[in-house]
Structure 1
Amino acid sequence: MTPLILIAEDEPAQVEVLRYNLESEGYRVVTAVNGEEALLVVEEEGPDLVLLDWMMPELSGIEVCRRLRERTQTKRLPVIMLTARGEESDRVRGLDSGADDYLVKPFSPGELIARVRAVMRRTRPGLDEEHISYGGITMDLAAHKVTRDGRAVHLGPTEFRLLRILMERPGRVFSRESLLDMAWGRDIYVEARTVDVHIRRLRKALNENDDTDIIRTVRGAGYAIDSEHGAG
């Protein structure tokens, strides 16, 4: 699944440069022009990484980052801060707010892409081109096979898509609406409760041998896969 990156930046020329370079590398892109919109887009679109400008209208990048880290659903969302501030005290402040990395303008497209890839590798360590592994579960994306502690797990196509979404971002809580968009597509109408049905099927398949249930239900929020906490 192609990673989705949010560009939160209020300078149109800078947005277009970032968009061009990211899309040229195969990433999907959404944008926001101020801090309030950035928080809304994160909630609605569920990006895999945020490029966050320090100086933005409405809310600063520092404040946006702090709020993302305070929310259960986004506390692990990768954030790279973009800023013209190059002093050490500013870099420390940016990282202390919860940013995973820090880029000082102007920067080259090559450096940007390298930083994005590095942060993705750190925050999604179980993911490579053909396999995802987490909590004893391994997905072979090419062969469309799943195992748990070496045991074959038989899943339908929808359960496979849901598991992949959850496995690619361990610990992150996905709303039912987000899972609908990502697993079924925005152009198909499916009721939100359908997600619950398929999650139950996924749990049953994964826990066939009375294994620990690592799909966590977050009341009023959605679902996450989390080997540390189990089901809620």
Structure 2
Amino acid sequence: MLTAKQRELLHFITVRLEDSGISPSFEEMKEALDLKSKSGVHRLISALEERGFIRRLPNRARALEVIRQAEDSVAAPRAKSSESTHDNVVPLRRPTPVQRQIANDVVELPLHGRIAAGVPIEALEGQSTLPVPAALLGPGEHYALEVSGDSMIEAGIFDGDFALVRKTDVARDGEIVVALVRDEEATLKYLHRENGMVRLDPANGAYEPQVYRAGEVKVQGKLAGLLRRYH
């Protein structure tokens, strides 16, 4: 059984996720529940997590997932409304059925060095990470590579961009892939297969396609998105 504050916090988080897809900050939760410090919020979050009502998502800042609702939920603290039956209470809008909702927050992707968008260079190395908005990613496991070169500029991929790559070893013709060449070098190109060969096409008229035997090329992932920093 949850305490009144635990029920209020659970509903507050649920409504915020429904409205914006982003879980509230600890400061927002502290103010909404009229608590004196964030340590009180931490205790409430831990209690809800232990009881199986919410879950913290790994590698995401501020990311909470609502797993289930309390049967005796009360309204979360919100702005006063003309529908209020009490000065500080708004009628509960129950989600029916309760759906598992994930905050649209930040994911720390492994950053595996630089990948050529021109001549192939060494890639898939390095131990750093890159914070990426979760909304840019779909299902599956992802990693990031920094683009080096200008051979994909006609596809909107520029030197210094970060390629967000979904891990896979299969791809269809015409897709932009990370291709590992001869188990040594990687490049970002359009994939085409013809007559038992693999052709890696650039998106820049100044560059020629690269043609290899099928066994010399392995697909390491497909382009899922781009992240660009402006300086």
The reply to whether TM is greater than 0.5 is no
Higher relative contact order (CA 8 A, sep 6+): 2
TM-score, with length taken from structure 1: 0.23
Considering fraction of residues, name the structure with more helix. 1
Larger Rg: 2
TM-score, with length taken from structure 2: 0.23
